[in-house]
Amino acid sequence: MSLRLGDEAPDFVQDSSEGEIHFHEWLGNSWGILFSHPADFTPVCTTELGLTAKLKDEFAKRGVKAIALSVDPVESHQRWIGDINETQHTLVNFPILADADRKVSTLYDLIHPNASTTATVRSLFIIDPNKKIRLIITYPASTGRNFDEILRVIDSLQLTDNHKVATPGNWKSGEDVVIVPALQDAEEIKQRFPKGYTVIKPYLRLTPDPRS
């Protein structure tokens, strides 16, 4: 059965480029991104893993751990990491799961018969500290992931978890947000949003980012 938003991210124990991973234990109280790759030594994925390494500080600021997955064994991963470090001018600083037995791929529905019966599709999961899946994106093999968008979504999720707001289309951290329609009590709105708000329509009320 396919995973859906709000489902618990399946736990697992699997080998990786950094040793055995007990997934829920490894996540701890952090947010996490788990992203899959069809195989080692693929060009688009090489650039993505390089970007992930370069964004270590951005992920750390948000309390996010990154972990990748490929169905190749650890020995292959280690050779690939050497290529990534060389070509992307970085150092891979996160584990790559060695899912040779397809255990994790099966748990996360990453083997799609209409895509490939042997390699994983390119899906990415954002998982919160309660181990709930908050975002799933599946990319075609020809299109690299937009990591600015992944960071933007994490910013939105973390903001909206702590405030009664939603984020508009193309929103970026620090920009105005939308007060959720369910919040109607004027006094509560005043207390929650002391910077004030603008009514565009009764259902569309903008207020400054409460974290700014």
What's the CATH number where 131 sits? 3.40.30.10
Do 148 and 166 touch, CB atoms closer than 8 A? Answer: no
Whether residues 75 and 122 share a domain: the answer is: yes
CB 176 within 8 A of CB 159: no
Q: How many secondary structure helices (H) and strands (E) does the chain include? A: 7, 11
Mean pLDDT of 73-85: 97
Structure tokens at 136: 């799933």
**Neighbouring C-beta atoms of residue 68, cutoff 10 Å:** 22
CATH number of 192's domain: 3.30.1020.10
pLDDT band, residue 114 (cuts 50/70/90): low
Alpha-carbon distance of 212 to 207, in angstroms, equals 11
CA distance 139 to 153: 16
Q: What percent of the chain has pLDDT over 90?
A: 88
129 part of a folded domain: yes
The set of catalytic residues is 45
CB of 37 closer than 8 Å to CB of 45: yes
**Domain annotation covers residue 156:** no
Asked if residue 175 and residue 97 are part of one domain, the reply reads no
Report the pLDDT averaged over residues 198-203.
94
Q: Tell whether 20 and 54 lie within a shared domain.
A: yes
For residue 135, tell me if it sits in a domain. yes
Strands 31-36, 21-22: pairing kind: unpaired
Q: Could you tell me if 111 and 167 lie in one domain?
A: no
Instruction: Evaluate if residue 112 carries a pLDDT over 80.
Output: no
What's the structural domain count of the chain? 2
Domain shared by 28 and 88, yes or no: yes
Question: Both 169 and 113 in a single domain?
Answer: no
The whole-angstrom separation of Cα 193 and Cα 206 is 10
Residues 81 and 128 in one domain: yes
Provide the H-helix boundaries in the chain: 23-27, 43-54, 56-61, 74-88, 103-107, 147-162, 186-192
Whether residue 154 lies inside any domain: the answer is: no
Domain residues for the domain of 182 are: 163-207
- Within-domain flag for 170: yes
Q: Quote the pLDDT of residue 50.
A: 97
Cβ proximity of 198 and 206 under 8 Å: yes
Whole-model pTM: value is: 0.93
Q: Average of pLDDT values for 79-108?
A: 96
pLDDT band, residue 39 (cuts 50/70/90): confident
> What are 175-188's pLDDT values in tens digits?
999 999 999 998 99
Residue 29: the pLDDT is 98
Question: Positive or negative, the Cα torsion across 148, 53, 65, 110?
Answer: positive
Closest listed residue to residue 147, CA positions, set 54, 62, 211: 54
Whether 196 contacts 184, CB under 8 Å: no
Tell me the two tokens of residue 116: 């490939």
Statement to judge: residues 98 and 55 lie in one domain = yes
